[in-house]
Structure 1
Amino acid sequence: MSVAVSNSARAVGRLQRPATAANPTEELLLSRRADAAVAAAQSRRCSSHLLRLHRAVGCCSPLLRRWSCSPETSPQPPIRPETNPSSPETNPISTEQIGSHSKSFGMKTHSSNHEIDMESGRLVEDKERPLRSKRVITIHNQALLSGFAYCISSCSMILVNKYVLSSYDFNAGISLMLYQNLVSVIIVSILSLLGVVKTEPLTWRLIKVWLPVNVIFVGMLVTSMFSLRYINVAMVTVLKNVTNVITAVGEMYMFNKHHDNRVWASLFIMIISAISGGITDLSFHAIGYTWQFINCFLTASYSLTLRRVMDTAKQVTNSGELNEFSMVLLNNTLSLPLGVLLVFVFNEVDYLLQTPLLRLPTFWLVMTFSGFLGLAISFTSMWFLHQTGATTYSLVGSLNKIPLSIAGIFIFKVPTSLENSASIFFGLLAGVLFARAKMR
């Protein structure tokens, strides 16, 4: 087969030999170089390369001369005619020339790490440099944007609930919670049907595993509504620090987790600030404080129970995972029948039938907006956590209470004193110290 290929190469060379190649020495040189190049190509078994060589044989092109003079492709030393050694046609090809022609075929060389994109004709490395810089800027902007969206949604949710319960004097916190959860279920279900988010199907096995967690979840939301009706926003944020104390103690007994001295010091400051804040609170309300302490206990119980149930719940799902959207859909869907039951237990039906607020379009608009905010917290928290991490997420959540407390005091014109303001400040500072101590 090699003889046939060589003969065909010589035949093509004779047919395509230009009229100017009349020198017998040059014809002998071209013939030997063609035989050497064809033999090298046959050893590599490169059909496309053979085709290019067949087309180039006898045409005296620089491509054939460079390939024939290359030490990689020529097994025999090239025979040079007695011509000028400085002639570019007879000099052996340099490393830069090999690199330039190998790049034209999209190959990498030892002299250059760049690679040609055959479609655009640009260096891939040069093309990727602006993309990498844009990617860094985009991630940085997304982290900043997601953090800002998380802070705005979480602050707005508490302020809007406070506005509905206090400014509108809406005395049906369970009904407000029920409507917000219904809005969340509708939105997540629509997004799941459209394929925007992925959720797990609600099976009886998953419902039975998740039902204890959901009961605590509903109790946590209801007690939060009741306490927010009677207590100002700043004191609610400070009293919520008691949740960290209960959670830390629960982790010791349930998960055998120990904390260092910095954590316990920050927890001690939280307790002192909560007690001093309650004593100096000019708008102190015993019922509101009672509901808030119950809320702290239920919130800590929800966090601890969720850790135990999460692994079991993942085992009964189809994919073996349970993402944030599935938890939102699961919690809010299961809370609907329990919420309806609590509406009758707390006798909110009579109030709903008599209150004129339900005939105001603006009131329905505010309640619907609060439902969107409740879902926005889940979306933005998941987005922010994905862009940054648990450490930054925890620290920003603690720092977010500072503008929330200030906004709650000024928006709702809460009467305060210097002692109460100092207690609120130290309580918020203890939350930041607690977050930093948990990082270490």
Structure 2
Amino acid sequence: MSDFKLDVVPGQDFPEPGFRPEKGRTISGAEKINAAVYKIFSFNHAGRRATSNGFFRGNGADSESLGLPNGGDGKREHGSGKKYGPLISGTAYCISSCGMIMLNKIALSTYNFNAGISLMFYQNLVSCLVVAVLSLSGVVSVEKLNWKLVRVWIPVNVIFVGMLVSGMYSLKYINIAMVTILKNVTNIITAIGELYIFRKHQNQKVWTAMFLMIISAISGGITDISFDSMGYTWQIMNCILTACYSLTLRKVMDTAKQLTRSGSLNEISMVLLNNLLSLPFGIILILLFDEWEYIRTTDVIKLPMFWVVATASGLLGLAISFTSLWFLHQTGPTTYSLVGSLNKIPLSFAGLVLFKVPLSLPNLFSILFGLFAGIFFARAKMS
């Protein structure tokens, strides 16, 4: 997703699409800015997906790593729902985000399922089927795909698949709390990429926050009792691929929207495009890594509860896309970004408790320090 620095006028709502001034009245500069901001942000948010967020699709990308625009909270009122809308949508977003990671961890670690690519393939297939059903029933609107759009999107999708697969394997070998802390490295790689590719400069607070993130990641790895070199390798790959996905997506979005009939690419179309294109790549990787032989012989897939967990995780992955968009429209980028950072705190501790992770006092302090650095980073991006 593109990262725009938005300076929204406090206390003013985003104008609705199709906004027109009263006859004879001159449009103020603030109204012009708000109208432009709304159009830019409505399009750019289509690039986000589990996300996440927190994480997206099993430790994919979070709000900061995908360059979520940060500015004032352009709150939008929705009749009688304006009072409870932000609370309900925020709760739904947090539950979807946390639930997705927890279920992936259960499928990969508790059930000891050693085919992360196959799990990703199944989740993406579930998402495609759900979106197709919703589209056919008229509940959602989906852009018609064409070969030119697919050809432009394939490079992004290759990185997307790598991001999901590496996220799956890192989550299998590392506890959730450490995955959360190590994901902060993605923000650092993204910021460096933006500096060299887009000449986007960060303020001093952001660089300070990223320095704290580096310290927390290093100290967390050193003090991690359950340290797994394979898991950390996968996580480093995931951070690099997530940052690459963010930076590549920013360059491709403008080209992609010109290849659709409507001249834009909404959130639902983005979800369908990413998931649909990932299926053939998933099949190739399953055969390449010989996961098909494992699937044929393992007893795990004979357990009904495993399929419940796998299906639910796929549905929650799709739910993250819907709830994040809903929450974002109810509040604004500032609140959204901050809640995404705060959401990592209960997620980390829930992961430590539910999966009975062996923990030393220094490692606990490293995790707390990393969570603090993440919140400080979100606040710094808002300034």
User: Which TM-score applies when normalising by structure 1?
Assistant: 0.69
Where does the alignment leave 5 or more consecutive residues of structure 1 unmatched? 1-133
- Find 1:178's aligned residue among 111, 121, 145: 121
| Percent pairwise identity | 66
Q: Which residue of 2 aligns with 1:195?
A: 138
- Find 1:142's aligned residue among 68, 85, 90: 85
- 1:125-274 aligned within 5 A: 137-274=80-217
- CA offsets, 1:208-229, max 9 Å, x none? 1111000000000000011111
- CA offsets, 1:308-335, max 9 Å, x none? 1000000001101111111000000000
Q: In 2, Cα distance between the equivalents of 1:367 and 1:225? A: 13
Where does the alignment leave 5 or more consecutive residues of structure 2 unmatched? 1-76
Q: Which residue of 1 aligns with 2:45?
A: none
Q: Which residue of 1 aligns with 2:350?
A: 407
Paired AA for residue 199 in structure 1: V
Q: In 2, Cα distance between the equivalents of 1:413 and 1:186? A: 35
Q: Does 1:278 align with 2:221?
A: yes
Query: 1:137: how far off?
Result: 4.9
- 1:399-438 aligned within 5 A: 399-438=342-381
Query: 1:136: how far off?
Result: 5.8
Query: 1:135: how far off?
Result: 5.5
Change (3 A) 1:148 1:331: same
Query: 1:361: how far off?
Result: 1.4
- 1:23-38 aligned within 5 A: none
Q: In 2, Cα distance between the equivalents of 1:429 and 1:397? A: 13
- 1:64-83 aligned within 5 A: none
Deviates more, 1:242-251 or 1:380-389: 380-389
SS in 1 for 2:84: helix
- 1:310-389 aligned within 5 A: 310-389=253-332
RMSD: 1.0
Q: Which has the larger radius of gyration?
A: 1
Q: Which residue of 2 aligns with 1:123?
A: none
Q: Which residue of 2 aligns with 1:288?
A: 231
Q: In 2, Cα distance between the equivalents of 1:335 and 1:356? A: 26
- CA offsets, 1:109-156, max 9 Å, x none? xxxxxxxxxxxxxxxxxxxxxxxxx96651121111111100010001
Paired AA for residue 219 in structure 1: G
Query: 1:163: how far off?
Result: 0.5
Q: In 1, Cα distance between the equivalents of 2:231 and 2:303? A: 27
- CA offsets, 1:159-184, max 9 Å, x none? 10000000000000000000000000
Query: 1:350: how far off?
Result: 0.9
- Deviating 4+ runs (over 2 angstroms): 134-137
State the aligned residue count: 307
Q: In 2, Cα distance between the equivalents of 1:255 and 1:388? A: 28
Change (3 A) 1:195 1:136: closer
